[in-house]
Amino acid sequence: MITSKTISNGILRALATILVIGIVLYFLYEIQTVIVYLCVSLILCLIANPLVLFLKNKLKFSNSMAAATTIIFFIFLIVGFILLFVPLIISQANNLALLDTAHLQTKFMETEKHLEEYFNIQHIDLNKVIKDSKLTSVLDFSYFTRFINSIINFMADMGMGLVSVFFITFFFIKDQTIFKDQARRILPDSNEDKILNSITKINHLLTRYFIGLLLQLIVVFILYLIVLLIFGNKNAFVIAFLCAILNIIPYLGPIIGTTLAAILTMISMIGQDFQSEILPKTIYVVIGFLVVQAIDNNISQPIISSKSVNSHPLEIFLIILISGITFGIVGMIIAVPAFTMIKVILKEFFPNNKIVSVLTERI
């Protein structure tokens, strides 16, 4: 029989549960930086797994030596990256930060005039199109300097983050066996094997995925760089690097990268003749980037997204599309790793379910 005391106790338990959930969510929000460090360290561990296994199995390194050697390797990579790219990025950032925004706006209006003259030849009233869209009224040229300054400040704060990430990564690599032993003590005996098998499979698949993604970015960067060097772009390294990083965002990233490359190419050529120099070179760069994306979309991405995580390309496309609609750009980036983890867990815990067996038959 339901009494008032039972109802009140149920309400109190529900309120207590909501309160606990709220406190936990607030705590996670407050330590979000630490969570990011842990996620980055975990990704680095997955990428480093082949190197760690080589050092331990082939060269007979101890866990500590293998972890230290891996961290040193990562540090050398970052130092090499800094020596190669950051001076170029900083020089361009300083130039943009010191730009006279009024002068930049004047130059933009000159470019707009050249565009108008060119399209008038083609019988298009560009001035009317711009006025109808009210584009000039919403353009804020000081935004570019603020954006560059925010990037510089972000880079200045990365030192502590890198130290923290490397410290956590060292112990993740060094004490993998200890973590597994401790997990066995904590996990319920009935599901221990399933959980450990899931972790092992996820570790294997995501290691393949992140290494493949890294190789894809390197290939795309080299191809972008070749395109920009062919057409004599002065900022080829910086533009190629930024556009390659944007490729992390599936499908949408390459479009943003191509647009960025076109804009930066036009800005770097301000002062030259628009119709005979700026426009043709920008079109050639865009065509070159589209060719690179065609190669990437038909060769690199199918191999990485489908073969590395054993999923059908259409399946990958749909999950990225759904994640993008639901969670935005962040959802698109984490869609494949998260989907892979869910599939592995479902297969371990519900292997006899017909839907699960169809979705996970390639795992």
Most confident region among 61-65, 100-104, 232-236, 305-309 by mean pLDDT: 61-65
* Average pLDDT score over residue span 290-312: 75
Whether 345 maps to a domain, the answer reads: yes
Residue 296: the pLDDT is 81
Backbone φ and ψ of 270, nearest 5°: -60, 135
- Determine the average pLDDT of the residues in 67-90: 78
pLDDT score, position 135: 47
Give 59's DSSP letter.
S
Query: Tell me: the pLDDT tens digits for 49-75?
Result: 888 888 888 888 888 898 899 999 888
Please tell me whether residue 272 adopts helix, strand or coil conformation: strand
Domain assignment present for residue 104? The answer is no
Task: Report whether pLDDT(154) > 70.
Answer: no
Work out whether the CA dihedral 81, 85, 87, 92 comes out positive or negative.
Answer: negative
Of residues 22 and 84, more confidence is placed in 22
In angstroms, the Cα distances linking 282 to 218, 226, 277, 345, 354 are 23, 15, 9, 48, 52
Q: Which residue has the tokens 């920008």?
A: 282
Domain assignment present for residue 309? The answer is yes
* pLDDT score for 134: 52
Q: Please give the mean pLDDT across all residues of the chain.
A: 76
pLDDT above 70 coverage of the chain, percent: 72
Question: pLDDT confidence of 133, banded at 50, 70, 90?
Answer: low
HSE, CB side, 13 Å, CA atoms: give it for residue 1: 2
Range of the domain at 168: 4-99+142-360
Q: Is residue 247 part of a domain?
A: yes
Domain count, the chain: 1
Give the pTM.
0.63
| Mean pLDDT to the nearest integer, 136-145 | 51
Q: What is the C-alpha separation between 5 and 18, in angstroms, rounded?
A: 20
Contacts 24+ apart (CB under 8 A), 102-109: 104/141, 104/144, 105/139, 105/141, 107/270, 107/271, 108/139, 108/141
At 105-119, the pLDDT tens digits run: 666 666 666 666 665
Give CA–CA dist 161/87, Å, rounded: 20
Return the percentage of the chain with pLDDT > 90, whole number: 2
Per-residue pLDDT, 306: 66
Q: Which of 119-123, 185-189, 194-198, 264-268 has the lowest average pLDDT?
A: 119-123
Is 16 domain-assigned? yes
What is the distance between the alpha carbons of residues 179 and 144, in angstroms, rounded to a whole number? 46
Q: How many helices (H) and strands (E) does the chain have?
A: 17, 0
Is 113 among the domain residues? no
- Span 74-98, average pLDDT: 67
- The reply to whether 111 falls in a domain is no
